[in-house]
A and B are shown apart, each in its own frame.
Chain A
Amino acid sequence: MLDLVGAFLLLAGTVFLLLGGLGLVRMPDLFTRIQAGTKATTLGTLLSLGGIACLRPDWALKLAVIGLFVLFTNPLSSQVLARAAHRIGTAKAPETAIDRLAEDKGEA
């Protein structure tokens, strides 16, 4: 039973990893790529690690540490990177409707 749950979680997790990769390739600009990349890979990693924990319950604690670490650091590195990219004026997709941040900095 636990094996079944583990197998399902593992497959679901890697499917989300794949969607993250797909988003990285298909999205039109850096910021949308960061969004797709961060969200899909965070959940994908958590699900995969959870699945592995179901298959090997004796590893659960260490897998939980890795999962928690990813959960806290992944959004942080994305934010730092997005901020840096915006500050150095990385190209935005032409569809970008509004940029309050650039307005407040007096750039727009």
Chain B
Amino acid sequence: MDRARGVILLFASLLVFWLVLSGTAASDVVLVGIAAAAVIAMAFAGNLSFLAEFRATPSAVVAAFLYVGYFAKELVKANLAVARIVTSPALPLNPGFVKVRTRLKSRVGRALLANSITLTPGTLTVEMEGEWLYIHWVSVESPEVEAATAAIVAGFEHYLEAMYG
């Protein structure tokens, strides 16, 4: 049943994408879109869609909205931090690579976590190995796993855990 759900979700999102890109509802265009989306959805179901492992419970939907808001806030903060560093004559940097651990089990959840970390203040995901993530940090506050995890991962993990588990 999970597979059927994955196929349908992927098919629907691909078709919407196609319709937005082509910007018309002419029947031939729509037919081509349906055919292409169906083939791709059946070939790649369960692999591609970030909807596939989503829990789709009310609390997960709420968490998704909160996640987007938190992400937007962090993205703006990250950019103000970058702006401050590159415009100051002394370039205040203390770079390093730290190791953090995530509790997330879902692959999609981990991928979203890695992407979120890259876009938030001073951190860039460099390598992932199972539950361990290696992060390049522009200004290392703590080299220890626990403290770095609390500073970098905890904020996003809280929401992503409700969304993907």
Let me know if chains A and B touch directly in the complex, using CB atoms closer than 8 Å.
Answer: yes
Interchain residue pairs with CB less than 8 A apart (5):
A23-B85, A27-B86, A65-B17, A97-B94, A101-B99
Q: Do A16 and B94 form a contact, CB below 8 Å, given A62-B20, A83-B127?
A: no
Q: Do A29 and B95 form a contact, CB below 8 Å, given A35-B122, A38-B118, A40-B82?
A: yes
Contact of B97 with A by CB under 8 A: yes
Q: Do A97 and B87 form a contact, CB below 8 Å, given A31-B136, A42-B75, A82-B136?
A: no
Is B82's CB under 8 angstroms from A35's CB? yes
Instruction: Report which B residues bind A (CB closer than 8 A).
Output: 17, 20-21, 23, 75-76, 78-79, 82-83, 85-87, 91, 93-99, 114-115, 118-119, 122-127, 134, 136, 138, 140, 143
Q: Looking at chain A's contact residues, is the secondary structure mostly helix, strand, loop, or mixed?
A: helix
Contact of A56 with B by CB under 8 A: no
Is A76's CB under 8 angstroms from B115's CB? yes
Is B94's CB under 8 angstroms from A40's CB? no
Chain A 51-83 against B: per-residue CB contact (8 Å), 1 yes, 0 no? 000000000011001000000100110110011
For residue B118, which residue of chain A has the nearest CB? Answer: A75
Q: How near does chain B come to A99, taking the closest CB pair, in angstroms?
A: 4
Is A93's CB under 8 angstroms from B126's CB? no
Select one of B83, B95, B97, B143 contacting A19, CB under 8 A.
Answer: B83
